[in-house]
Structure 1
């Protein structure tokens, strides 16, 4: 990205100067100088286009891990007021609706799993269906799927997948209200009936990790973390159903924009007013996909516990937190000293409520919401805590991962899957995957430096670092 086109506000925030006659909201990009310099100019173009959409409140923003996406950049955040003609855009949510991370903390340390690591990796790979179009053992009838679309993780718990007490630590207590199964196409539903409890492909993973470094001892205690502890991160979303909903509604939202005379600076930003029929239909379908994702991660957490019960029966796996990073949610936010109800698009960005927020479990209200920045396989991930400052800076949003530094096509030209897996094994990191091509596409070198992303996220005031997690085994599609 050409930094000459930006105005630096402080070490980790930048604005885009408004030119004479230009009609748009402000644009803020968060990140260090080196992170922004490494971004494609398309990121700047996309977030500037977002700033032109009707009803936007405050600034259109990108997180430190931002990269080019469809419509919104990945790492894009924007809030809209439904009472001021604010819009909702499928390109501002993403195709993998409610993709997110369920992080489990265990009562085990590295010394407990080290002798069993190979066995655990193999057993998890057998138990967790992963890969493009991969289906699991759970086959739902149309009526059962409709129940999932409205019930989310609560449905999963009611059907024997996990325990009700862990729902306190899941976004929306495991169930998103406002889901309307009737707004989900039969094609989307058909794609999902065999995909519950599956991981998917691409950058989705199940990873065994070890807490290598503590940055904030007080927050780590609140989160139940200590050095040497084993954690498990499950990264996945709403699978085929969410992708189909995104595809279906791009057309209807584009037609609505044309019908209502909404100027689209980019056709990928197809949108409709939140209060329009088309907008309400997309929201109903999107919320249904959120419930699918929450149920999916709940089921995967249960399958993971079953594997540990067989190999390490003394293991206890508790949900640290589960939060999505591809959503548009109705939330209360302070704007110019007044509380307003806004629809906050977060595409490749994680909600990051600060200390004291009433939506947080009592256990976390002193430290703030757990925020997970997932790294690429072989590098590492971070647990952070939301800050009060993030409310004013980014509608309580933070980075969601390392963010791609190169395309999958570019990665395939540089890495071979088998060679990469051997290299990581030599470093003590086991990879189990259905696809050597997929492994090459997800090479650690294809992503930004997760350490720099986490540091910039903290320096920008979006979330503070609590712990660094080193991967030991990674299951991928």
Structure 2
């Protein structure tokens, strides 16, 4: 079914300054409506993508994100609506930044691998320290190098955690409890992980032998692509009460943000300062997943229902007083970690009641790509990107030079636009802004 751009617009309606409705009929067989959250700048990108697709200029064979949101709305068993967050962009199956919930009592309802993505349980962890920017600035190059030397990064990197097949089975089943037993975590880390660091229904027997073989040497690695470790400093505090609950009490305080890491990273930071993680007050603020499907209880049309919530490139953001968040954060709402792009700021948000009602307790996960990886490599210059980062005072170590272009800020939407849209829409609230001073990329 081919329509021109103006015909497509008949199915799109602006609900308010941050939200658009996708009406049934935008794609065939929609069971529910779609919505997407944008501000003016992000709205322009979304509609430009749709216009290009109508002209026959799609992105790498992908449908535009709006169409993908519509396609998800056509899946059997979907409830309420298909939701696109402000960082939404085209992906395999679901758009990245698209979330949806399916009724577990409906025998027709789907479990969608495309609604999770290839990078299953990819997420972010934020650690705080008692260091100040003035402590780190003089040694940031040594610190970046020490972390790069110590943490296995990039495609094919091997982990530093000794492990056999039995260990892997136990790690898959026990989650952070395994890390705790093996001395890679502290007891309070468990409280500050989504799902308390362990999916109780996890069954390692459902994981194929081939997947286990590939995963065995990878525990404790940083990985490649958009995975990173950053030394960051607190740049702005929007909510002092929430920040204090997270152990953040002043601008300039040093934090570490990582994509799936271990205390090995923390120990390396401590080594550079000739101290211990204890002395650095190195504690997990929170650890969240961005790509996962989970069974959750939600109120839909006034009734509590058991749903399978798919979050692909989106983050759980439960409100204050929710039983599944840690005691420390009962009055603030769940911390939500939003990684920026290489060289731009990151944010900590908190979940809201409005988000629970509108988006099944879900918000954005990052900046969201604006250029394809191939386009980034064609359009950007390796040295230019490095020079810009150096001018910003950021120490950088990268395993693969092409990643410098692929992960450059110009390749992504503006993370501040994304975060402000969620804040203004009320689906999450800003608490802390962080800026990087050292970046390690896979």
Query: Scaled by the length of structure 1, what TM-score is found?
Result: 0.84
- Is 1:161 aligned to 2:184, yes or no? yes
Higher fraction of helix? 1
Which residue is 2:39 aligned to? 32
Aligned mate of 1:406, from 371, 379, 392: 371
- Helix, strand or coil at the partner of 2:101: strand
Which residue is 1:55 aligned to? 77
Contact 1:418 1:436 in 2 (8 A): no
Which residue is 2:426 aligned to? 461
Contact 1:308 1:315 in 2 (8 A): no
- Is 1:66 aligned to 2:88, yes or no? yes
* Unaligned residue ranges in structure 2 (runs of 5+): 51-63
Which residue is 2:237 aligned to? 214
- Provide the C-alpha distance between the structure 1 equivalents of 2:207 and 2:395, rounded to a whole number of angstroms: 39
- Provide the C-alpha distance between the structure 2 equivalents of 1:454 and 1:23, rounded to a whole number of angstroms: 29
Which residue is 1:141 aligned to? 164
Cα distance, 1:360 vs structure 2: 1.1
Cα distance, 1:326 vs structure 2: 0.2
Cα distance, 1:30 vs structure 2: 1.1
Contact 1:416 1:436 in 2 (8 A): no
Cα distance, 1:206 vs structure 2: 0.3
Contact 1:80 1:342 in 2 (8 A): yes
Name the Cα RMSD after superposition. 1.6
Q: Give the paired residue count.
A: 414
Aligned mate of 1:390, from 351, 355, 360: 355
- Provide the C-alpha distance between the structure 2 equivalents of 1:185 and 1:51, rounded to a whole number of angstroms: 30
- Provide the C-alpha distance between the structure 1 equivalents of 2:126 and 2:221, rounded to a whole number of angstroms: 16
- Provide the C-alpha distance between the structure 1 equivalents of 2:270 and 2:408, rounded to a whole number of angstroms: 31
- Provide the C-alpha distance between the structure 1 equivalents of 2:220 and 2:22, rounded to a whole number of angstroms: 43
- Provide the C-alpha distance between the structure 1 equivalents of 2:396 and 2:328, rounded to a whole number of angstroms: 34
- Helix, strand or coil at the partner of 1:84: coil
- Provide the C-alpha distance between the structure 2 equivalents of 1:333 and 1:176, rounded to a whole number of angstroms: 18
In the TM superposition, what are the counterparts of 1:263-342 in structure 2 within 5 Å?
297=260, 300-312=261-273, 313=275, 314-342=279-307
Cα distance, 1:64 vs structure 2: 0.4
Contact 1:234 1:301 in 2 (8 A): no
- Provide the C-alpha distance between the structure 1 equivalents of 2:209 and 2:262, rounded to a whole number of angstroms: 28
Superposed CA deviations along residues 12-40 of structure 1, whole A, max 9, x for unmatched, are 11101224985421111111132132033
Superposed CA deviations along residues 80-131 of structure 1, whole A, max 9, x for unmatched, are 0121132110000010000000111111111111122111111111111110
Q: Closer, same or farther in 2 for the Cα pair 1:138/1:221, shift >3 Å?
A: closer
The runs of 4+ residues in structure 1 deviating greater than 6 Å are none
Which residue is 2:258 aligned to? 234
Which residue is 1:79 aligned to? 101
- Helix, strand or coil at the partner of 1:44: helix
- Helix, strand or coil at the partner of 1:87: coil
* Unaligned residue ranges in structure 1 (runs of 5+): 236-296
- Provide the C-alpha distance between the structure 1 equivalents of 2:353 and 2:30, rounded to a whole number of angstroms: 31
Cα distance, 1:427 vs structure 2: 1.3
Which residue is 2:308 aligned to? 343
Cα distance, 1:332 vs structure 2: 0.9
Superposed CA deviations along residues 359-383 of structure 1, whole A, max 9, x for unmatched, are 1111111111101111101011111
Cα distance, 1:232 vs structure 2: 0.8
